[in-house]
Amino acid sequence: MTQVSLGLDTFGDVTHGPDGQLQAMDVTLREVLDQATLADEIGIDFIGLGEHHRADFAISAPEIVLAAIAGRTQRIKLGTAVTVLSTDDPVRVFQRFSTLNALSGGRAEPILGRGSFTESYPLFGHDLNDYEQLFEERLDLFAQLTRSPTVTWSGETRSPLKNQPVFPTLGQPMTVWVGVGGSPESVVRVVRHDLQLMLAIIGGDSARFAPYIDLYHRACAQLGRPVRPVGVHSPGFVAETDDAAQEALWPHYADMFGRIGRERGWPPVTREKFLAEVQHGALYVGSPETVARKIAKTVRTLGIQRFDMKYSTGPMPHAALMNCIRLYGEKVIPMVRDMLTAKAA
């Protein structure tokens, strides 16, 4: 088996300080910089920053934070989780990432998507009724920009371009992913644009996404596209023992999903549901060995080439997140690779 890439994601969840109170967003942003620096030092492959425009997440301009991270790191890949392309201008998004790619020595790996929240639509003057068209057109333009220094394009959601050069051009190739929540149409769209598929699995058994992997391969064959690496993004948390991980995460998980659930009319979050998701679903929570076994199982079951764990959920303190990152890099990743190597042998 080809060595799997193992990364981390964060939305920059606003954290609790030593006094148990929420800290200012500027503190959280500086903490994210320290977290990414540690991830680079201990050999984690990728750091992804999610774009949000809400009071509970500090990162609204991920490319700026990634540029700061680039200046303090040497090897870690730098991306998003996700960039909300629907409500941004694809030319400006491309320019920001082509700049980041140049400054970091080819380490930029944007993950484009529509996001799981809608605050950016009114904020930037877009209509939710245009949800599908916005993403389709803007992804098409972005894909073209990655392949040619000049572009001719027309659509209904922005002004047309004719033989338009866009700078800075890509001096080095840039890998581009598309985050998909689980619709067949979205999988086929990724193949049609010849980009890389990142499945966001945030609930339920990851094995239920196997049909989407099969669809991806069938679409590649039917559309004459090369088969590219496929990744999975899922939430998790690592501590020294299973009990310690569950006890540390639960109050912050309940805080975040309780707030989001009230906004969306979901049933109340319960500890029983949380533990069921830890044991049988897409929460990669536990000791290093427990998390490593679960990741290795997902990699084998789905045949993926990349796994990114979202290590921040709710207002968990910075020290706990740093400990999680250290355990993930120093223990989980070597265990996963050993497990996959042993299985392949």
* In the chain, % of residues over pLDDT 70: 99
Q: Are 115 and 135 in contact (CB under 8 A)?
A: no
The burial of 57, by beta-carbon neighbours within 10 Å (0-12 exposed, 13-18 middle, 19 or more buried), is given as buried
Give the span between the Cα atoms of 145 and 151, in whole angstroms: 6
Which of 54-58, 113-117, 155-159, 276-280 has the least mean pLDDT? 113-117
Strands 108-109 and 83-84: unpaired
d(CA 338, CA 27) in angstroms, rounded, equals 37
Average pLDDT of every residue of the chain? 97
Confidence class of residue 116 from pLDDT cuts 50, 70 and 90? confident
Would the pLDDT of 105 be above 80? yes
Q: Is residue 10 over pLDDT 80? A: yes
pLDDT at 3 over 90: no
Question: Is residue 251 predicted with pLDDT exceeding 60?
Answer: yes
Contacts of 196 (CB under 8 A, 6+ apart): 175, 176, 177, 178, 190, 228, 229, 230, 231
Q: Whole domain around residue 47: which residue ranges?
A: 5-344
Residue 208 predicted with pLDDT over 70: yes
Predicted confidence band of residue 190 (pLDDT cuts 50, 70, 90): very high
- Region 315-325: what's the mean pLDDT? 97
* Phi, psi of 114, rounded to the nearest 5 degrees: -105, -10
Strand-strand pairing, 161-165 and 150-153? antiparallel
Nearest to 229 by CA among 78, 109, 86, 105: 109
Q: How far apart are CA 85 and CA 46, in angstroms?
A: 20
Checking if the pLDDT of 345 tops 70, the result is no
How many domains would you assign to the chain? Answer: 1
Asked whether residue 77 carries a pLDDT value surpassing 70, the answer given is: yes
pLDDT, mean of residues 221-234: 98
Q: Tokens 């590219």 identify what position?
A: 228
* pLDDT at residue number 1: 52
Which pTM does this prediction carry? 0.97
What local confidence, expressed as pLDDT, does residue 95 receive? 98
Cα–Cα distance between 136 and 121 in angstroms, integer?
Answer: 15
Q: Which band of pLDDT confidence, cut at 50, 70 and 90, is reported for residue 344?
A: confident
What's the whole-number mean pLDDT along residues 244-271? 94
Q: Which CATH number goes with the domain that contains 242?
A: 3.20.20.30
Residue 129 has pLDDT above 80, yes or no: yes
| H-helix or E-strand spanning residue 215 | helix 210-223
Confidence of residue 13 (pLDDT cuts 50, 70, 90): very high
